[in-house]
Amino acid sequence: MATRTGAWAAVAAAAVVAVLSAALSLYGSPLDAVLKRAFSLHNAHSVKGMEDALQLVRNIVPPLTAKKHKGQDGRVGVVGGCREYTGAPYFAAISALKVGADLSHVFCTQEAAPVIKAYSPELIVHPVLDSPDAVHDVGKWLPRLHALVVGPGLGRDDVLLSNVKDILEASKARGIPIVIDADGLWLIAQQPALIQGYQKAVLTPNHVEFSRLSEAVLGDPLDGQDRRGAVLRLSQALGNVTVVQKGERDVISDGKQVLECSQEGSGRRCGGQGDLLSGSLGVLVHWALQAGPERTDGFSPLLVAAFGACTLTRQCSHQAFQKHGRSTTTTDMIAEVGPAFSRLFET
């Protein structure tokens, strides 16, 4: 019961932030002072807020029981991997497995496939993304997938992007949740209509990707002062698609509420951390949607999933850095997924 009350307090706090941010977008800077006060209030409660939000993540984690069959806890597909980039799709797909997916697929180009297979015997790798039948080849797997992660190591080749566009349309038609990162976001910035209004999508832009999207969707370069307002506005402009702006703190919005993740991470910014986030998010989005809004106490399931993936990624980074310091790489962080997950979510 205490948890429930706490969670509602968090909902209320987030709602206040959301309403004030929306107000600022309507009335401009005169509300700045009010907003700042509300935000510092919000910050004063943020440790408790974080704890409440963590409890919501715990609520969506499916129990491990002997009764389940293979695949029930998640079959995730990663769309990406080309001649230049093979690490990113590997990191995303292996992270999904380590977080708890039962099966992890990679849909990549023909050239990238043997390389990704050689990294790991645990992934199912399909060399189809540059084939003339790419959409059909990926499409026949869609009925078996619970979530798609689009973009890690995708690159910007026109043929690939055109195939990915059709894969996105096919996935939307089936109602499959889609996490979009990296060059998948580049595609969305070119054609925002691709994702407009699809409320089972989560975008995970870094600073540069966020500015590009903002510019494309709102015609506005990023306002650096008001990150919460900027993320809320972008989400709303996209029809309440969930947006996770990665940064010193991660800011997450579903167009209604704004959550912030400030779990301690590390100072390392090596490539690949974003793939850990997008891969984990693929699994958590599935779990959250399966659990339903009762388990997330009124919060949108995707918001809770995003908060969980951000927290987990930061905790992995923190733990890896304690062991490896400056030499920490994404591989070290992925090795921490198990212990970080139990520390955060298994109580």
Ligand X SMILES: *[C@@H]1O[C@H](CO)[C@@H](O)[C@H](O)[C@H]1NC(C)=O
x/- mask, ligand X, residues 185-224, rule CB under 6 A, reads ------------x---------------------------
Categorise residue 223: left if φ over 0, alpha if ψ from -120 to 50, beta otherwise.
Answer: beta
Query: Which one, 255 or 282, has the nearer CB to ligand X?
Result: 255
- Closest approach of ligand X to the CB of residue 20, in Å: 13
| In the complex, least distance from residue 255 CB atom to ligand X, rounded to whole angstroms | 4
Of the candidates 146, 156, 154, which has an alpha carbon nearest to the alpha carbon of residue 274?
Answer: 154
The reply to whether 239 sits in an annotated binding site is no
Residue placing its CB nearer to ligand X in the complex, 16 or 335: 16
Q: Which residue is nearest to ligand X (CB)?
A: 240
323 residue type, one letter: K
> CA–CA separation, 98 vs 102, rounded Å?
9
Buried b (16+ CB within 10 A) or exposed e, 123-133: bebbbbbbbee
CB nearer ligand X, residue 114 or residue 197:
197
Report phi then psi at 65, rounded to 5: -130, 160
- CB closer to ligand X, 192 vs 239: 239
Using CB under 6 A as the criterion, what x/- string covers residues 152-191 for binding ligand X?
----------------------------------------
How many residues bind to ligand X according to rule CB under 6 A?
6
Question: What residues form DSSP beta bridges with 131?
Answer: none
Q: State in angstroms the smallest separation of the CB of 195 from ligand X.
A: 12
User: Minimum Å distance from CB 14 to ligand X?
Assistant: 12
The Cα–Cα gap between 336 and 316 comes to 5
According to the annotation, is 248 in a ligand binding site? Answer: yes
| Nearest partner of 109 among 88, 82, 85, judged by Cα | 82
Residues 229-268 that bind ligand X (CB under 6 A): 236, 239-240, 255-256
Q: Cα dihedral sign for 305, 310, 311, 313? A: positive
CB of 239 to ligand X, least distance (A): 4
Q: Is 206 labelled a binding residue?
A: yes
Burial (Cβ within 10 Å: 0-12, 13-18, ≥19) of residue 82: buried
272 assigned binding-site residue: yes
Q: Binding site annotation covers 11?
A: no
- Residue 77 Cβ vs ligand X, minimum distance, rounded to whole Å: 27
Do the annotations mark residue 265 as ligand-binding?
yes
Give the shortest CB-17-to-ligand X separation in angstroms: 13
Contact 279, 76 (CB under 8 A): yes
State the Cα torsion 24-192-79-292 to the nearest 10°. 50
Of 10, 46, 78, 95, which is closest to residue 338 (Cα–Cα)?
95
275 belongs to an annotated ligand binding site: yes
| Residues in touch with ligand X (CB under 6 A) | 197, 236, 239-240, 255-256
Going by the annotation, the residues of the binding site for (6S)-NADPHX are 153, 206-212, 275
Going by the annotation, the residues of the binding site for ATP are 246-250, 265-274
